[in-house]
Amino acid sequence: MADESAKPRPLGEKLGVDIDSELLALALTHRSYAYEHGGIPHNERLEFLGDSVLGQAVTVMLYTTLPDLDEGALAKRRASVVSTVALAEVARSIGLGEHVLLGRGEEQTGGRDKDSILADTTEAVIGATYLSAGPDAATALVLRLIEPLLADPDRYGAAVDPKTSLQEIAARIGATPPQYSVESTGPDHDRRFTATVVVGDVTEVGEGTSKKTAEMAAALSAWRVLDARA
């Protein structure tokens, strides 16, 4: 069996930046894995740092390259690029999921392809790059990663307001308007919501910690189906 500590090396080469091996390993450690291994450090602090680095790099790039856009348009474009869905697509493009260290529960429920885990890990890797190689290298990494997103802003813009995007695409293709139903489970302090949306002949389900987030997740799934058809 291959040594798990060797996993980050090919990822570092794919990223095109020299990241300290311990920092990269930390960036790839999900809290579910950490809890199952005696409470070792996990990647959430690096994720916090990487989120800030990502936001600044994208903001400066958009401001300097799109001088004709007003503040509102710039904000919408930024939100679409740094959204969970967009970052998850970035992660998939570099095969990040196969390198993440997950606990057994997350492993069994498909954690390696969950948008939230992939997006958070991407931010953690950016944070690790900042600490290991400096701000310029971290900014350069961000710009390399998001370049494909900028070529298709409408697709990722759906992640910002999926319910509106779903309603618009349904109207455009002549499907019936989206209809939502929501159920909740669990105690008040840890309630989980499951939303089902039906639009035309498409039925999709989304989960979240609130009715709103569950409906948004369901809407985004349905939008992806209809967008693929369109």
The amino acid sitting at 17 is V
First to last CA, the chain: 45
Q: How far apart are CA 109 and CA 218, in angstroms?
A: 18
> What is the dihedral angle through the alpha carbons of 67, 73, 78, 81, rounded to the nearest 10 degrees?
-110
Instruction: Give how far the C-alpha of residue 72 lies from the chain's centroid of Cα atoms, to the nearest Å.
Output: 22
Query: Is-catalytic flag, 51?
Result: yes
**Rama region for 137: left / alpha / beta (φ>0; ψ in -120 to 50; rest):** alpha
Please indicate if the annotation marks 207 as binding a ligand: no
Please indicate if the annotation marks 47 as binding a ligand: yes
Query: Is-catalytic flag, 123?
Result: yes
Residue reference for tokens 């293709």: 173
Catalytic residue among 89, 106, 115, 123: 123
Please indicate if the annotation marks 123 as binding a ligand: yes
Catalytic residue among 51, 89, 106, 115: 51
Q: Which residues contact 85 (CB under 8 A, 6 or more apart)?
A: 115, 119, 156, 158, 159, 220
Return the number of other C-beta atoms located less than 10 Å from residue 56's C-beta: 14
The amino acid sitting at 55 is G
193: helix, strand or coil: strand
Q: Report the binding-site residues for Mg(2+).
A: 47, 120, 123
Which residues does the annotation place in the binding site?
Answer: 47, 120, 123
Q: Which active-site residues does the annotation give?
A: 51, 123
